Amino acid sequence: MGLLDKAAAAGGNETAAAKPKAAAAAKAVAKAKPAAKAAKAAKAAKAAKVKAPRARPASLSADFELASSMNRRISWLVNFIVNFGVLFAAIFIAAGDTGVVTTILFAVSGGIIIINVIFIPMKFSRNIGQFVSRTKFVRGDGKNPLFLHGILVNSTGLSALIGVIMIATQFQKLSEEDNTTAIILFSLGALFLILWFIDRFLRNGSEMTQGLYDLLFGAYLVKYVPSEEERATGVWARLENMGNFGDQLLERQEKRAAKAAQKAAKAEEKAAENEGSSEESTE
């Protein structure tokens, strides 16, 4: 019995000595968890910053880079101001019933729209908005699409606006008997709106952001800077120089996006550190 008692006492001492070691190991594991979480959060932040590259269509030459969403926004904003700025001013002034001034403004607005939608794209395959945003529509081999493509693309928003006006003005006249004109105008307005919705639907669902007419003509909106041989002179050179304004806007947006990403990463790191400290305090 004496030998058994000694063996039991020795086993108890070993377990008592093992308990502090186990507690120290558990504390080390608990301290390692917050560090592991912080490392995972940092990796997740880095992975979020790196965007997956957009798939390149097989028919587009590798020499071109697809226009970014910011390029498209700048182009749309500039074209909207150019095409409809004077028109909205004329509509606003028309409320004051100033016939001569309003007529002149409507004429000037129509001339600006025709120049930006038809004549400039026919000459350069670009409108004013695309000059500013340094973008251009090209086919897969780098050639310019048919001039009809530029006219249709540039007039999509305008035709939709005209369609809304046609529907609003002719809707009540549909109930009149033998009013064929109202039916035709209402149908044209509805057609313009339907084409606009189809174009938007296809553009939003396309990986290459191609609308209805882009798909029909095989065109892609790409980033574009003319070479020395393609540089224009005179008034057209001023249009090319307007691209500097677009570049400045892009740089500002990129800086803002980088700052926002840095703030988000710092916030995630602080959150991970706070979680780690709270777990240590509970232990």
Residue 223 has pLDDT above 70, yes or no: yes
pLDDT at 151: 86
Instruction: Please state the rounded mean pLDDT for residues 122-131.
Output: 84
Q: Name the residue with higher pLDDT: 175 or 165.
A: 165
Cα–Cα dist 192/220, whole Å? 23
pLDDT at 102: 77
Residue 74 has pLDDT above 50, yes or no: yes
pLDDT at 190: 92
244 exposure class (CB count in 10 Å sphere: 0-12, 13-18, 19+): exposed
Percent share of the chain, pLDDT over 90: 6
Cα–Cα dist 229/246, whole Å? 22
Instruction: Please state the rounded mean pLDDT for residues 141-165.
Output: 86
Q: Name the residue with higher pLDDT: 15 or 193.
A: 193
Give SS3 for 179.
coil
CB–CB of 243/134 below 8 Å? yes
In degrees and rounded to multiples of 5, residue 274 shows phi and psi of -65, -40
Question: What is the band of 66 on the pLDDT scale with cuts at 50, 70, 90?
Answer: confident
If we measure between CA atoms, which residue out of 96, 154, 147, 158 comes closest to residue 123?
Answer: 147
Q: Name the residue with higher pLDDT: 182 or 40.
A: 182
CB–CB of 75/126 below 8 Å? no
pLDDT at 90: 81
Record the tokens describing residue 240, joined without a space: 């090319």
In degrees and rounded to multiples of 5, residue 177 shows phi and psi of -80, 145
Instruction: Please state the rounded mean pLDDT for residues 121-132.
Output: 84
Question: What is the band of 44 on the pLDDT scale with cuts at 50, 70, 90?
Answer: low
